[in-house]
Amino acid sequence: MDDMTLIPEHATTQGTLPRRTFAIISHPDAGKTTLTEKLLLFGGAIHEAGMVKARRERRNTRSDWMAIERQRGISVTSSVMTFTWHDVVFNLLDTPGHQDFSEDTYRTLTAVDAAVMVIDAARGIEAQTLKLFEVCRLRDIPIITFINKIDREGQDPFTLLDEIASTLALDVCPMVWPIGMGGLFRGCWNIAEHRPIGRVSPEGEVFAPVTVPPEQMAEVQDAIELTGAYPAFDETAFRAGHLTPVLFGSALKDYGVVELLAMLSQFAPAPTTQRAEPHPVAASDPSVTGFVFKVQANMDPNHRDRIAFTRICSGRFQRGMKLFHVRAGKTMAIQAPIFFFARDRSLAEEAWPGDIIGIPNHGSLRVGDTLTEGEPLRFTGIPSFAPEILRRIILADPMRAKQLRRALEDLAEEGVAQIFRPMLGADWIVGVVGALQLDVLAARIDTEYKIPIRFEASPYTTARWITSTDPKRLKDFIDANQSTMGLDRDDSPVFLARDTWSLRYAQERAPEIHFSATHETS
Ligand code: GDP
């Protein structure tokens, strides 16, 4: 790893500080990158604006398949950024910002305890915000809303609040109010503390609040009085994901950023209890546990090693520890775990619940895998999703079937695509949730494995994992439907449906078979 630097102080001074592990969800262009950058600046993790983008660009030049990301100006992969502010360690998990829902995004959200939803004041809730919000709701992740770009002309604040409340069926509680927007923008008002908020620069300079003409101030006061109609801030409702505190701000002009950090410090949950079988795992449990929520191939396409992004859920992890890889039934020594900072990585000497470490490996760790100190636990709730696009892979050179299989298995392990082997016929079927995943898959098979392939339409449009309490009935169903059956990479049977009509028909004819659109490996 070329930019690896050893920063041992991190381990020794930060171990006991509280953790806040969160993600930012937004529609492209709402200001996620700008806000991320400001948070990192305030946290002292970077020193000049423009570094987050610069890092992305630098990263892109390292591997060819990232060219897709560059061409489309989007971020395909997610990463982790750690920074400290007022004695709290923040682990910010970057979610891909592109329009296609990808499994990667969902899985990243399985590893956070809270989310910040960034909304463009002029545009309100957009498609991608809504999708990501729904994922947060599935897991009851508490959300802080940041309505950005109030220094520009935007929609009326009440319209925005009502839109959030009605579209997301969520109580809204404005905490910071804009003093004017666009040309009339003068700053913000802290509603609870009854005071104007001046701009605070990332370097800590506090600028005096701008004087507001009395007429405008009267209007703002009237509006704030009307906000009394919204429910008061309630920490329990927030923690349960039923209420979102709302801040109006400008990431670009440094308004509302400090308030956002303060809200995260004060109210966002500390590392929470994680669902697992046979019992949930509390962050306070003394023995080390963690789960892999993302696997990423090394940026260097010449090396096939990969990094398993692992959330520590309990215990105090120390470098060199031997952890039990529950699915494989094997113990592995974690010799070179990695911490991620804004720009650098370092060896992780120690990690605490809520922290994310990267574990280099050669394919042994998969998304969803659990690591423990020996207990056969399994973290749950990290599913695969039924693909919405299915394609047949045609290999130009039949002699390379074995290499293709290897490549597909590797990429499936990373979650780039799902792979299915039809019971009849020889060609692999790949399934993806968003069309962009197909481009990534094709580009990576080409640049990393140098195997010429093309996609062809497949007769199937969706897939369902099938199970039954009665093994004989399951077998009969599979035998009777061989032409539309396949196996996933774990050999779990999958019904490949030609269209929704045939799926419904099969379901009606076989009520003893359970068809599932999500699947968790055990
Ligand atoms: P992302 O796609 O969500 O990461 O959005 P970016 O952070 O890249 O921002 C998209 C555009 O909006 C950029 O041109 C930013 O400079 C601009 N922008 C972001 N935040 C603000 C803001 O608070 N005010 C204004 N006026 N522009 C902003």
pLDDT in tens, 438-463: 888 888 888 888 998 999 999 999 89
**What's the predicted TM-score (pTM) here?**
0.82
- pLDDT on residue 415: 76
The answer on whether 285 is annotated among ligand-binding residues is no
CA 405 to chain CA mean position, Å: 28
Using the mean position of ligand 1's atoms as its centre, give its distance from the Cα of residue 34 in Å: 6
Least reliable range by pLDDT among 260-269, 312-321, 402-411: 402-411
Q: Please determine, for residue 333, whether its predicted confidence score (pLDDT) is greater than 80.
A: yes
Least reliable range by pLDDT among 99-103, 104-108, 292-296, 377-381: 99-103
Q: Is the CB of 145 under 6 A from ligand 1?
A: no
The token duo for 421 is 């082997």
The answer on whether 32 is annotated among ligand-binding residues is yes
Q: Which atom of ligand 1 is nearest to the CA of 30?
A: 3
Residue 233 DSSP one-character state: P
Q: In percent, how much of the chain has pLDDT > 70?
A: 86
Q: Please determine, for residue 219, whether its predicted confidence score (pLDDT) is greater than 70.
A: yes
Is the alpha carbon torsion for 343, 347, 353, 356 positive or negative?
A: positive
Using the mean position of ligand 1's atoms as its centre, give its distance from the Cα of residue 342 in Å: 19
Q: Please determine, for residue 52, whether its predicted confidence score (pLDDT) is greater than 70.
A: no
251 with 35: CB under 8 angstroms? yes
Using the mean position of ligand 1's atoms as its centre, give its distance from the Cα of residue 189 in Å: 22
Is the alpha carbon torsion for 408, 414, 418, 421 positive or negative?
A: positive
Higher pLDDT, 413 or 175: 175
**Confidence tier at 8 by pLDDT (50, 70, 90):** very low
Q: Render the burial of 198-233: b for 16+ CB within 10 Å, e for the rest.
A: ebbebeeeeeebeebeeeebeebeebeeebeebeeb
**Confidence tier at 50 by pLDDT (50, 70, 90):** low
Segment 184-211, tens digit of pLDDT: 999 999 998 888 887 888 777 777 777 8
Using the mean position of ligand 1's atoms as its centre, give its distance from the Cα of residue 367 in Å: 32
Q: Please determine, for residue 138, whether its predicted confidence score (pLDDT) is greater than 90.
A: no
Closest-CA residue, ligand 1 atom 25, reads: 149
Q: Is the CB of 29 under 6 A from ligand 1?
A: yes
CA 413 to chain CA mean position, Å: 17
Segment 73-109, tens digit of pLDDT: 333 344 788 889 999 999 999 876 555 556 677 788 9
Among 252, 255, 260, which is best to mutate for testing ligand 1, by the most ligand atoms less than 8 A from CB?
252
Q: Is the CB of 26 under 6 A from ligand 1?
A: yes
Nearest Cα neighbor of 288 from 354, 377, 373, 349 is 373
Q: Is the CB of 97 under 6 A from ligand 1?
A: yes
Q: Is the CB of 56 under 6 A from ligand 1?
A: no
**Confidence tier at 482 by pLDDT (50, 70, 90):** very high
- pLDDT on residue 354: 96
- pLDDT on residue 228: 93
Q: Please determine, for residue 341, whether its predicted confidence score (pLDDT) is greater than 90.
A: no
38-46: average pLDDT: 82
* Most confident region among 76-80, 430-434, 510-514 by mean pLDDT: 510-514
